Amino acid sequence: MKFLFLILCFNVFAAAPKSNPYSVPMLTQVVYDEIKTDNKTIFLIYSARWARIDIKQNQMLDLVMGDFKKKAHFYTVDPDAMEGLKVPDPGSRTTIIAVRDDKIRAKLVGVTDSKLMTQFIDQNL
Count CA within 13 A, CB hemisphere, residue 89. Answer: 11
Short-list 85, 101, 6, CA closest to 76: 85
Interstrand relation of 103-109 and 41-46 (parallel, antiparallel or unpaired): unpaired
Confirm whether 117 is domain-assigned: yes
Mean of all residue pLDDT scores within the chain: 86
Q: Mind listing the pLDDT tens digit for each residue in 65-92?
A: 988 999 999 999 999 988 889 999 999 9
pTM: 0.81
* Whether pLDDT at 6 is above 80: no
Torsion of the alpha carbons at 105, 91, 72 and 111, rounded to the nearest 10 = -100
Range of the domain at 100: 21-123
* Whether pLDDT at 109 is above 80: yes
pLDDT of residue 19: 52
* Whether pLDDT at 4 is above 60: no
CATH number at residue 44: 3.40.30.10
% the chain with pLDDT above 70: 83
Residues 31-38 have a mean pLDDT of: 94
108 touches 122 (CB < 8 A):
no
Residues 32-57 have a mean pLDDT of: 93
Confirm whether 45 is domain-assigned: yes
Confirm whether 6 is domain-assigned: no
Q: Mention every residue, 6+ apart, whose C-beta is less than 8 A from residue 63.
A: 114
Confirm whether 106 is domain-assigned: yes
